[in-house]
Structure 1
Amino acid sequence: MTIQITRLVRILMSIPLLLLIPLVAMQFSAEVQWGLLDFMVAGFLLLTAGLTIELVLRKVTEPRQRVLLCLAILAVFLLVWAELAVGIFGTALSGS
C-alpha cells in the first residue's frame, strides 16, 4: 500500500477509536451524556477534519504551507467543537 492510502486508512480507523472515549466514559460517569446525534456530529467533525488534512497533505507541497494549513484546520475543528459543547461564542449552535 502506498503512504497516502495507509494514512487515509489510519485516519478512517482513528475516528471510531476516538469515539470510543466518550462511549466508555458514559459507562463510568453520569456527567458524560451523549446521544446518537452527538456521536454522529462528532464523527462528522472528525471525518471532515481528517479528510481535509489528508487533502492538504496530498496537494500542498511546501512544508511551511502544509503546517500552517493543518494548524488552521485543527483550530477551526477545535473552535467548532468547543462551540457545540459549551457555547463559547453564544451562537444558536451552542450546546448549553
Structure 2
Amino acid sequence: MANSISGSTRNIRWRTIGWGTAVALLIAPFIAMQFTPEMNWGPGDFVFAAIIIAIFGGMVELAAGASPRLDYRTGFALAVLGALAVIWVNLAVGIVGSEDNPANNWFFAALGLAIVGATVARLRAGGMSVAMFGTAAALVVALFVAQAGATDEPWVPPGREIIGTGLFAAIFVASGLLFRRAARALAG
C-alpha cells in the first residue's frame, strides 16, 4: 500500500511539473511582449499555442500509461518534445528562411513520417525506435532539400539552420535509442 501511495505522489509531482511547464510556455511570450515590440502576439496566437501545447501534453499523458518502463516513457516524451519544437520553431520563424518559406513544409513532412511510423508500429518500442531514427534522418533530408531551393532570407547563414536541424534530429535519435533499450528489455 505504501508503495502505491509513493508512486501516486510521484506521478502527481511529474504531472504538476509537466503541466506547469506548459503554462510557463504560454506565459513566456506574454512577458516577452512587455519588453520588446518584436514579440507581438494577439489573442489568436495564444489560443493556437494553448491548443498545440494541450495536444502535446495529452500525448505525454498517453505515453505515461503506455508502458511501465521509464526508458519507453522518456523516449515518447522526447519524441513529443522534438515534434513540438520543430512545429513551434517552423511556425514562429521558419527553420529555413522565414516562416513563410514553402521549403519549410519539408520539415512537417518529416514529422508526418513519425506519425506514420508510430501508427505502423502500434506504439511498440521496437517499431517506435525505427520510426524515431527515420524521423531524424528525414529531418536532415528535409534540410538539404529545403536548402537546395531559393531562400527568402539570404543573409541568414546556413550554419544556423544546420545546427538547429541537428539539434532537432538529435532529440529524435535520443528518443530512438531509448525506445531501442526499452524494446530489448521487454524482449529479454
Superposition TM-score tier, normalisation by shorter sequence: 0.7 to 0.9
Distance 1:13 1:70 in 2: 16
Distance 2:90 2:23 in 1: 22
Scaled by the length of structure 1, what TM-score is found?
0.75
The sequence identity of aligned pairs, in percent, is: 30
C-alpha RMSD over aligned residues: 2.2
**After superposition, where does 1:76-87 map in structure 2 within 5 Å?**
76-87=83-94
**Alignment-mate amino acid for residue 18 of structure 1:** L
Shift of residue 7, structure 1, vs aligned partner: 4.3
Greater Rg over alpha carbons, structure = 2
SS at match of 1:34: coil
SS at match of 2:34: helix
Distance 1:55 1:21 in 2: 26
Q: Where do 5+ consecutive residues of structure 1 fail to align?
A: 92-96
SS at match of 2:104: coil
Count the aligned residue pairs: 91
Flag the 1:6–1:63 CA change in 2: closer, same or farther, 3 A: closer
SS at match of 1:32: coil
Indicate the residue corresponding to 2:104 in structure 1: 90
SS at match of 1:33: coil
Distance 2:19 2:77 in 1: 17
Q: Where do 5+ consecutive residues of structure 2 fail to align?
A: 96-102, 106-188
Indicate the residue corresponding to 1:94 in structure 2: none
**Alignment-mate amino acid for residue 90 of structure 1:** N
